Amino acid sequence: MIKITFPDGTVREYESGITSMEIAKSISEGLARNVLSAKVNGEIWDATRPISNDSKLQLLTWDSPEGKATFWHSSAHLMAEALEILYPETKFGIGPPIEAGFYYDIDTGDHQILLADLPKIEAKMKELAANKSTYNRRVVSKSDAIEFFKEKEDEYKLELIEDLEDGSITFYQQGNFVDLCRGPHLPDTSKIKAIKLTNVAGAYWRGDEKRKMMTRIYGITFPKQKELTEYLELVEEAKKRDHRKLGAELELFMFSDKVGAGLPIWLPKGTALRSRLEDFLKEEQLKRNYQPVITPHIGKKDLYVISGHYEKYGQDSFHPIQTPREGEEFLLKPMNCPHHCEIYGHKPHSYRDLPIRIAEFGTVYRYEQSGELHGLSRVRGFTQDDAHIFCTPDQLKEEFLGVLDLTKLVLRKLGFDNYTAQISLRDQEDKSKYIGSDENWDRAEKAIIDATGEVGLETVIVHGEAAFYGPKLDFMVKDALGRSWQLGTIQVDYNLPERFQLEYIGSDNEAHRPVMIHRAPFGSMERFIGVLIEHTAGKFPLWLTPEQYAILPISDQYLEYANKVQATLSTLGLRGYIDSRTESIGRKIRDTELNKVPYMLIVGEKEESAGVVAVRKQGEGDQGAMKVEDWAIALKSNM
RNA sequence: GCCACCCUAGCUCAGAUGGUAGAGCAACGCAUUCGUAAUGCGUGGGUCGAGGGUUCGAGUCCCUUGGGUGGCUCCA
């Protein structure tokens, strides 16, 4: 007999060799039906694998991430089985589960798999799933494994096996399909009820751009058809909210072939929105003793040689601008910090001056790879809500707290309530790739951890993700559809003060190196607004929206009254426009609804004679008639 | 940058196998002065992303190039 310990601490005894599935059955049939795999002593196992020692056991179902991973991993195998039947010449790379679904990288030789082929593969998968084939695990020797895949002429699997240790190699088989795999897998294929292959794309073998480009097929599966339907609806909703689509429809920004890829052009409405965001932050920063500065868009190449950016990125970014003067070269600025370091360095500083907070909405240019460009999220010219705080090592934590507070305010103000902070620290194993003393690093890392703890921020710590010049914190923000985005960032930097020889005179009358903090609560205006568009589906908060109201006269007889209404609203500080087209009221309402203007004020004979407006709220309909002033005041108190 | 796919009127999209382009919406004109998501009728609009090639003939086939989409790699 063996002792099995459950997550709630209870212990039950079973025969040695019992499987998780059998244990689940001993608890309830319903549970057994839902079990996908099991965590045995922290390791994820097949539910059908015998347990022969005392163990801790957690049964995994669809509700756990590990359960989903098992489900999707098995789905990848199912797809591979279908592919092998349909395209016998296929060679297989890797086929893991991902955040939402799975993929398999395959090499189909001369035959190309197109999007149009996916339904056929999908159908074959459904057919195979219904066979209720079990996933059978077996341990094979390295030589047997090699022989098997030599036979199949699958050089990818052979390469994978090379890196594996003899004795730890397992095969899984369902139906006639055998795959090299660590597992675990589902008990059988019949659990996979709903199948959708979503995409086909290229992917380098082992992520190495020098190696062969394979075909990657993405898919997602669910235990219930309904869950697939819901998932597809979410994808549809995400498409509707796509900031590239809404940005064009709402006339916020555009791109032009002639201006160049990745260079967003802000249209009047987008500019109105962006300026309001900027003004909001500028005001907050003034309250917090930031000093706004303005620096040029270019700087001599030497500036970036000093900062180190030229060496690291010079070849892969915009190349220097030549001038009529021999040997003179300027760079489009890829970062604002070198300029700000020059500002700090232009006069001596006492420790009494610190911290110094230099802020600039600085536009920077980086030559992102053409394949990387994407709407406003990845561009070649963008504006950071940048600031650099120069402080003493002692002030680090206090300054961090201040920045955290400001960033939280920004996110709250824009309706992002769901976020975590990712703290990126040094790689503990290899400290050689970082610059700055151990003591300083320890101090900075501790300051970040302490500060986030003090403000009660939910954090994830990632070792080895720090920049070479210092640890950092990134805000990971979840939008209305539950998707995560990296927005604001705070980074500690020991490198630039060193390179620019920045100093302050301490109370000991000696020169010391200040610490620098880079921080940007929005991150970049472009990226932030892109995320904001998708988060709000284009229905921006009232204080931000380019147009707060539209006055819709029933006919042009009421234009004069409409003008009066608008004059009143302007005086009260609200912005909007009159739709003076000779169109039906139905038409005007429809167009205004589609433009997502939050309020419509309809004026006709009734309203004019009563001195009121008929208020209609976007997406909600008629709100009844009221005095303009009353409406405006109520609205403003809500903003 | 790499792989695949795409680019036809302002927008969304039709245009088997090569025979010099079409719809809806928008725009413009006229009529309509209208009560909570599209008033009616009419008109104009395209060097088919650009350049080159094959062909008697190219939106359609080939090459180069710009831009986009989905991935991969990258991201100060």
Which pLDDT value is given to residue A588? 95
- Residue A500 pLDDT more than 90? yes
Q: What ipTM does this complex have? A: 0.94
Burial degree of A212 (CB within 10 A; 0-12, 13-18, 19+): middle
Q: What is the pLDDT of residue A87?
A: 85
pLDDT digits (tens, 9 = 90+) for A284-298: 999 999 999 999 999
CATH topology of domain A2-61: Ubiquitin-like (UB roll) (3.10.20)
For this structure, is A366 an active site residue?
Answer: yes
Per-residue pLDDT at A505 exceeds 90: yes
pLDDT band at residue A279 under the 50/70/90 scheme: very high
| CATH entry 3.30.70.600 includes domain A253-294+346-536 | no
For the stretch A397-437, pLDDT in tens is 999 999 999 999 999 999 999 999 999 998 877 777 787 78
* Strand nucleotide closest to residue A373 (CA to C1'): B68
**Is A388 designated active site?**
yes
- Given a cut of 90, whether residue A443 has pLDDT beyond it is no
Class of domain A66-237: alpha beta
- Domains in chain A: boundaries: 2-61, 66-237, 253-294+346-536, 549-637
- What is the pLDDT at residue A429? 79
How distant is C1' of B67 from CA of A370, in Å? 11
Nucleotides of chain B touched by protein CB (<7 A): 1-5, 31-39, 66-76
pLDDT at A362: 96
Å from A500 (CA) to B51 (C1')?
49
Active-site residue, A46 included? no
Quote the mean pLDDT of chain A: 91
- The nt closest to A314 (CA vs C1′) is B76
Contact predicate A613/A625, CB 8 Å: yes
Sign of torsion over alpha carbons A230, A234, A235, A236 = positive
3-state secondary structure of A227: helix
pLDDT on residue A546: 94
| Å: A261 CA to B66 C1' | 10
- How far does the CA of A630 sit from the C1' of B36, in Å? 21
Q: Is A539 a residue whose pLDDT tops 90?
A: yes
* Per-residue pLDDT reduced to its tens digit, A461-474: 998 888 888 899 99
Of all helices (H) and strands (E), which one includes residue A158? helix A155-162
| pLDDT reported for residue A31 | 86
For A436, phi then psi, to 5°, come to 100, 155
Which listed residue (A91, A274, A301, A337) is catalytic? Answer: A337
**pLDDT tens track for A340-369:** 999 999 999 999 999 999 999 999 999 999
Q: Is residue A182 among the annotated active site residues?
A: no
User: Which of A216, A378, A426, A472 is an active site residue?
Assistant: A472
Residue A276 among the catalytic residues: no
Residue A110, pLDDT > 70, answer no
**Residue A96: C-alpha distances to residues A103, A186, A256, A419 (Å):** 6, 14, 39, 28
Residue with tokens 């999908």, as numbered in its chain: A122
Rounded distance in angstroms from the CA atom of residue A304 to the C1' atom of nucleotide B17 = 60
**pLDDT tens, position by position, A470-494:** 899 999 999 888 888 999 999 999 8
**To the nearest whole percent, how much of chain A has pLDDT over 90?**
62
Taking the C1' atom of every nucleotide in all shown strands and the CA of A337, the nearest one is B76
What's A541's DSSP letter?
-
Q: Give the β-pairing of A419-425 and A381-391.
A: unpaired
Does CATH number 3.40.50.12780 belong to domain A549-637? Answer: no
Binned at pLDDT 50, 70 and 90, residue A235 comes out as confident
Distance between CA atoms of residues A73 and A220, nearest Å: 10
Q: Which nucleotide is nearest to A581 (CA to C1')?
A: B33
Of residues A413 and A9, the one with the higher pLDDT is: A413
> From CA A486, how far away is CA A522, in angstroms rounded?
10
Which listed residue (A137, A349, A388, A616) is catalytic?
A: A388
Summarize pLDDT for A327-336 with one digit per residue, the tens: 999 999 999 9
